[in-house]
Amino acid sequence: MSGKASSSQASIGGLGSGSVSHVFIQYPPLRCNIPGSRGFYYDDGNKLLLSPTSNQVFSWKTAPFSPNAAPNIDSITEGPICSIRFSLDEKLIAVQRSNTSIQFFHRETGETFTHRCKSESESILGFFWTDCPSCDIVVVKTSGLDLYAYDHALKSLALVETKKMTVSWYVYTHESRLVLLASGMQCKTFHGFQLSSVGIIRLPKFEMVMAKPEANSKPVLASEDVYIVTVYGRIYCLQVDRVAMVLHSYRFYRDAIIQQGSLPIYSHKVAVNSRAPISAPLPVLFRGFPRSDSFTSRPGTKESESLEASDSNDNEAIIYGDGWTFLVPDLICDIANKRLWKIHLDLEAISASSSEVPSVLEFLQRRKLEANKAKQLCLAITRTMILERRPINMVAKAMDVLVTSYALSLKTGSYFKGIKTERTPSSVPNVSGPGQGEDVNTGRTDGLGKSVQQESASRVNSVSVGRSSNYSSETEDSSSFEPLKISSNDAQFDSGKVDTGARSSATGNPLNASVSEQQESQLTSPAISPDEMYRFVFAPAEEEMIGEPSYLVSIILEFFRSANLEKVKVNPNLYVLTVQLLARSEQYAELGLFVINKIIEPSKEVALQLLESGRQNFQIRKLGSDMLRQVSLHQDYVLLLVQDGYYLEALRYARKHKVTTIRPSLFLEAAMTSNDSQHLAAVLRFFSDFIPGFHSTSDFSTYYHILNEMNSSSVVA
Amino acid sequence: MLEYSFSKPNSSRSPSLVTEDLRSFISKIYTVYSTNSASFMGLSSIGTASDGMQLCIFDLRRGQHEGQELDKILYFFPADLPFSTQLSVIGLSEGLITFTRIFSPEAACEVIEAERHSHVFYEAEPDIWMVMIVEKSKDSEAIWRIDALREVLKEIHSLFVMFHGSIRALLEREPGGGLTRAHLYPFIMDYLRACQKRSPLDKCCCGNAEVAVSDGLIWIYFLVGKKLQLPSFRDCLMERRSVQMLTVGREAAIEVQTLVRILESSAGNLPCFSLILFQDLLVSTTLSPEDTINLYKYAVLRLTPLALSSGAKSWSYLRKGNSSSHVSIGSTLLSTGSVSEQFYGSHDASPAGDNRYHVTRPLQHDKWFKGKDGFLITDIWGGDIGSLNVTTPTVWLHQTEERMYLCAYQYKSLTIILLIPLSSILNGDQGVSILKQQLLENASLKILKVEEKLSKGWGGENAYHVSGYRYLLVDGNRDISRASPPTKVTTLSKESLLALNRLREEVDAEKSRAKWDNPGREKDLEVCIRAKNNAWAVARITGGKELYMVLEKANETLLYASDAVEKFSNRYCSGTFSLD
């Protein structure tokens, strides 16, 4: 798995148990105690927690998470419920009634219809809604997949395509858009399809590894032992081999499935270090884990969960219970107590606990959910690192991380998307930062667009199983097979769901109303632009660092190096700052080299600063005036020449570059001060020749008069 | 009969009047000299006893009483001239200086052009003068530019100061003058040796010796063939007191600067300076322009890979292609040849250290070696090279007026010079070696990377050749120059070079006039002349930058030549020299 990820992981893992925990669940939880509830269902496509009663469905939005969220209530007819899912536009509720029928309810009109299996020989294993362009709902049957499109007019499903194969059981996550179909005696032969908004990809058939306990017995792989995991946009599959006590991981590519390695499982349980009275074992065996090689060997530290002080009070004393079910990606449903907890990753704690600053930054730069917070943390960390005068090579690494991340976000468009979002909420990609339980209402596009938002609590926490049999650690963007990225456009590759989210809002989803209520800036990426680097890191650092600016220059230089490697443009103000710093420490030789070798790129700002700093040093001033000319700031250059008394050169230059905006009197005055009547005459002549009607201006008469006086006085002398 | 040139007097008097006064005045002086004391002039003897060049340094504040005249002589070349002759030369110079100071107290005379000699004056330090007298030989090669000769004097002096401190300070330390002479003699001889033309015989150790007797010390130098290589017209496309820089891309420049930072940080909090060269070209400096020029010069002379490998072919990059140019073809053997035989054995084995004064000779040949750790070592400053226990070299910086340790490190084509103040390292050589260790630990990787980057981007010796052009580009603001590679300059015909030499003399005169007319102001200037061979020699000066150019294939018209210059300016000088 990603080497980068594991490095940040390592830094987090290396804290020792005494350190602050990195994950917490926030009190209060969402209480979803409904009388007559028949259990809970989690609709991962829409991120809804569903609790049906005999004739109603209560649904809570879990993203963004709010403990005060009020349920939506929809009426359904009575009957058995095998599973229940809302359509991605949330107009329809589909309830699987039996292994042969699925009933649909239209939420607005209340209309219903029922879809049944045609043949008696097959039964429905389950279904899910999809944003695949050709179909809306996929029904998984023992005989294969049926892809249906919902026909609004006819209020029925139209069969689009059938994929025939025998299926014992299946796993699907909306996040990965991937359905894995198990078949064979041991259920270890898999077919896979990814049904995403760009189309359907059929994965090659593959087999999972199963150890044989004895010669004759053939263990059967259960659906509970297979998890689809999305890590930073890559799709993996984790498989528990109960016999060998090994966890296998597979990485999915468009045309291949590659086994990534296996890890031994030492223990089924990992203790939860909680301040709550009960320190209950947390079954972790099936919970999967993000990627770290170290998780099993270091349980109890990284896996630890603790509650913030405020959490452990009164009736919440019993926090952990057997009824805990972990939902994708960061929710815990406490079935026994009918509560829903949100797991948070404590970014501050994580960043405060590690001195490996570059790794921490790397980790923070991957945050998508609490992007703004991560960004602020990154800025603060970087600033502090500079103020503390950490070794230059470490700061250099940190710069590399930040710049690389920014360059990537530019390439994928997520940086600008974040910015754009702030301006045009209508196309909001629904990536909110439900940091500390603040209620950021992102409207209902969630249905389609939401999986961008996977938060990563579970990444460290390594918990998420639940009925959806889906594990998701933090996700970066949409899940897609790596090669897919090539074929799709940038935005798509970056965050396919964002794209679809925007599309769904464009279709005028009536529920998509409350978008404008977003309060926090909707950053999709914690990437820091060079502009922000200047404003929030270098400029404040410069203000706070008194004396020897040499260290700061070194740091800035490292930033230039990183930026240059990534072809990122540097804010001209940073160049200005560099000039100031070098001039202040009188490192004129270096400053000269910086300018000549274009380490400091020419711009008007820089040129003016060079002129300013050049008051003490002639050579630097010269560089400034050369730069003015170089960047074709003709007017400024001419003015400068006149100011310095080179009015004849200025005139020649002005004529060549057609600078007409400077008053003739400036030149005339300069010529007059030089006390050279010939020059004054020449300048007068110049303007008379080239400016029509100059003879009649007051300038002309004034200086003509002066010229005459000069001549007469010199004759007298 | 006698031409003169001196700095312009104060403007209170009309120049023309002064000129008239002077002309008559000087002719009178000359008459006095020539009639009454021909031998006092000593001019007649110069041509034979030396190879057409005399060089002296004297202090106007010394030897002002009768009988103490010898005191004022601090250095004289050739040293075997009788003191009376030496004194007569110095006496004439002194007389001229004193006289011209009447009219121009701030800057006395710069040059005297006599019928057969040119006297070039340079006031190195207040009242300490260097005078070079060169013979105007009938030989067509003996044509030079006075300013180029003065640059030699400047160079000698500033290099001397870099190693030994100012002459005045030495005189103050030991008012007898022995210490000063003991330093000046070997230093300048080493310098001149570096200047002289190498003959194939040199390696066979059958050269001639120069013997100098001063204060009871005997100095012996071998001036092989006596062919001193003074700047001639063939060098008109180079600028001595300037630095040649490597042009680097932004990425490489950033790498270099990060390396500079690492170098400085590896010295801890000590204030230190660095200089980085690639081949014989400067890549980076944190020194003032003045110090940069001196150290760069020294590095190119003695430290760069080329200087180390070719030891003997000292002037390396700068001197290539000049092999045909030398002042004297007289090549007369020294009359003291027999003496040289006698002292031959003691020459290199017993340097000045054995004598009354401990004198280091930083310009000595073949004294620098590359150590195993990549640092360059020498026993010039003492110690034993065999045991690697050598004293760290020190130099005196003009900018900080402080003595610094000089550590030179070399990796492939990259030479790095690090200067650390003596005052900041308490335990001397031991402290330096600790510092070297730190440097290696911190910077090795970066050095590797930088060398690789620069090597990749380097276009070779002819990288800065522009076909069709022979040029010299001088940035007077930053003391940087760039010129066509010497091998390309040699393809020019003699006429072209003479024309350009002449042109440069004009420009020099114009510049110095402008300097006095209008101090602090730069003058724009453009001169084009056509040589006998129809080549164009062009000079353009603007904003302190100078461009000299010879266009041999510029066809008939001035327009064409001007176009060519324009193109060059736009392409290689970002339009600096482009006119309307």
The sign one gets for the Cα dihedral A467, A473, A474, A478 is negative
> How far is the C-alpha of B573 from the C-alpha of B566, rounded, in Å?
10
Which of A448-462, B113-127, B376-390 shows the lowest per-residue confidence on average (mean pLDDT)? A448-462
Residues ≥6 apart with Cβ < 8 Å to A314: none
Q: Is B286's CB within 8 Å of A592's CB?
A: no
Q: What are the backbone dihedrals phi and psi of residue B134, each rounded to the nearest 5 degrees, phi first?
A: -120, 145
pLDDT tens for each residue of B285-294: 999 999 999 9
pLDDT tens for each residue of B487-497: 999 899 999 99
B449 touches chain A (CB under 8 A): no
Per-residue CA distances from B381 to A113, B241, B361, B482 (Å): 102, 26, 8, 33
pLDDT tens for each residue of A451-495: 333 333 333 333 333 333 333 333 333 343 443 333 333 333 333
- A618 and A502 within one domain: yes
- A200 and A162 within one domain: yes
Say if A309 falls within a structural domain: no
Q: Residue B576: list chain A partners with CB under 8 A.
A: 626
Q: What is the mean pLDDT of chain B?
A: 77
Say if A321 falls within a structural domain: yes
- Structural contact between residues B366 and B311, judged by C-beta atoms closer than 8 angstroms: yes
B138 touches chain A (CB under 8 A): no
Nearest Cβ partner for A561 among B258, B286, B542: B258
Q: Residue B285: list chain A partners with CB under 8 A.
A: 589, 593
Q: Residues of chain B with pLDDT > 70: what percent? A: 75
How, if at all, do strands B545-551 and B536-542 pair?
A: antiparallel
Which token pair is A279? 């320190």
Q: Other C-beta atoms within 10 Å of A184: how many?
A: 14
CA distance A166 to chain B (A): 60
Say if A246 falls within a structural domain: yes
- Across A481-540, the runs of DSSP E, i.e. the strands, are none
A594 touches chain B (CB under 8 A): yes
Q: What is the pTM of this model?
A: 0.69
Say if A48 falls within a structural domain: yes
- Structural contact between residues A25 and A345, judged by C-beta atoms closer than 8 angstroms: no
Per-residue CA distances from A673 to A344, A677, A715, B93, B523 (Å): 73, 10, 19, 42, 18
Q: In terms of residue numbers, what domain contains A405?
A: 348-424+497-622
For the purposes of burial, counting CB atoms within 10 Å of the CB of A523, is it exposed (0-12), middle (13-18) or buried (19 or more)? buried
- A107 and A136 within one domain: yes
Compute, in degrees rounded to 10, the torsion defined by CA atoms A661, A664, A668, A671. 40
Instruction: Tell me the residue type at B261.
Output: R
Q: Residue A656: list chain B partners with CB under 8 A.
A: 580
- A505 and A390 within one domain: yes
Residue of A nearest to B246 (CA): A597
Higher pLDDT, A190 or B346: A190
Nearest alpha-carbon partner for B37 in B90, B113, B112, B88 = B88
Say if A161 falls within a structural domain: yes
- A188 and A269 within one domain: yes
ipTM greater than cut 0.90: no
Q: Is B258's CB within 8 Å of A550's CB?
A: no
B580 touches chain A (CB under 8 A): yes
- Structural contact between residues A7 and A359, judged by C-beta atoms closer than 8 angstroms: yes
A652 touches chain B (CB under 8 A): yes
Say if A483 falls within a structural domain: no
Which one of A504-508, A612-616, B413-417 scores highest in mean pLDDT?
A: B413-417
Domain boundary among A622, A643, A664: A622
Residue A505 pLDDT more than 70?
no
Stretch A7-35: mean pLDDT: 54
DSSP A320-340: --TTEEEETTTEEEETTTTEE
HSE-up of B31 (CA within 13 Å, CB side)?
6
Nearest Cβ partner for A597 among B250, B292, B544: B250
Residue whose pair of structure tokens reads 């929710």 in the numeric block: A331
pLDDT tens for each residue of A335-373: 666 777 666 666 666 666 666 778 778 878 877 767 788
Q: Residue A643: list chain B partners with CB under 8 A.
A: none
- A587 and A560 within one domain: yes
Which token pair is A384? 């502090």
DSSP A267: -
Residue of A nearest to B287 (CA): A589
- A533 and A403 within one domain: yes
State the pLDDT confidence band at B12, using cuts at 50, 70 and 90: very low
B248 touches chain A (CB under 8 A): yes
Q: Is B265's CB within 8 Å of A392's CB?
A: yes
- A324 and A197 within one domain: yes
Residue of B nearest to A548 (CA): B269
Q: Residue A389: list chain B partners with CB under 8 A.
A: none
DSSP B301: I
Residue A514 pLDDT more than 50?
no
- A364 and A333 within one domain: no
CA distance B197 to chain A (A): 35
Between A and B, how many CB-CB pairs are < 8 A?
76
DSSP A396-436: HHHHHHHHHHHHHHHHHTHHHHHHHHHH-GGG-------TT
Which token pair is B139? 């030989």
> How far is the C-alpha of A494 from the C-alpha of A601, rounded, in Å?
32
Q: Is B257's CB within 8 Å of A594's CB?
A: yes
Domain count across chain A: 3
Residues in chain A: 717
Q: Residue B251: list chain A partners with CB under 8 A.
A: 564-565
Q: What is the mean pLDDT of chain A?
A: 71
> How far is the C-alpha of A282 from the C-alpha of A268, rounded, in Å?
9
> How far is the C-alpha of B363 from the C-alpha of B187, rounded, in Å?
7
Which one of B243, B246, B250 would you mutate to disrupt binding with A, by most A Cβ within 10 Å of its Cβ? B250
Residue of B nearest to A649 (CA): B524
Range 464-523 of B in CB contact (< 8 A) with A: 477-478, 521-522
- Structural contact between residues B448 and B441, judged by C-beta atoms closer than 8 angstroms: no
Instruction: Tell me the residue type at B93.
Output: S
- A583 and A653 within one domain: no
Stretch A280-297: mean pLDDT: 30
State the pLDDT confidence band at B278, using cuts at 50, 70 and 90: very high
> How far is the C-alpha of B401 from the C-alpha of B290, rounded, in Å?
12
- A341 and A364 within one domain: no
Q: Residue A592: list chain B partners with CB under 8 A.
A: 478
DSSP B302: I
B428 touches chain A (CB under 8 A): no
State the pLDDT confidence band at B579, using cuts at 50, 70 and 90: low
pLDDT tens for each residue of B139-157: 767 788 899 999 999 999 9
DSSP B404: E
Domain boundary among A622, A655, A678: A622
Say if A108 falls within a structural domain: yes
> How far is the C-alpha of B134 from the C-alpha of A490, rounded, in Å?
75
B531 touches chain A (CB under 8 A): no
Compute, in degrees rounded to 10, the torsion defined by CA atoms B18, B24, B25, B29. 150
Domain boundary among A622, A650, A671: A622
Residue of A nearest to B442 (CA): A393
- Structural contact between residues B175 and B305, judged by C-beta atoms closer than 8 angstroms: no
Q: Is A557's CB within 8 Å of B292's CB?
A: no
A561 touches chain B (CB under 8 A): yes
Q: Residue A153 maps to which CATH number?
A: 2.130.10
Q: Is A629's CB within 8 Å of B575's CB?
A: yes
Residue B27 pLDDT more than 60?
no
State the pLDDT confidence band at A715, using cuts at 50, 70 and 90: low
Say if A432 falls within a structural domain: no
Instruction: Tell me the residue type at A233.
Output: G
Give SS3 for B281. Answer: strand
Q: Residue A560: list chain B partners with CB under 8 A.
A: 254
Nearest Cβ partner for B261 among A557, A619, A649: A557
A629 touches chain B (CB under 8 A): yes
Stretch B197-223: mean pLDDT: 41
Stretch A133-158: mean pLDDT: 87
Nearest Cβ partner for A649 among B253, B477, B524: B524
- A213 and A93 within one domain: yes
Residue B76 pLDDT more than 80?
yes
State the pLDDT confidence band at A12, using cuts at 50, 70 and 90: very low
State the pLDDT confidence band at B283, using cuts at 50, 70 and 90: very high
The sign one gets for the Cα dihedral B60, B61, B65, B71 is negative
Beta bridge pairs of residue B472: B483, B548
> How far is the C-alpha of B212 from the C-alpha of A348, rounded, in Å?
79
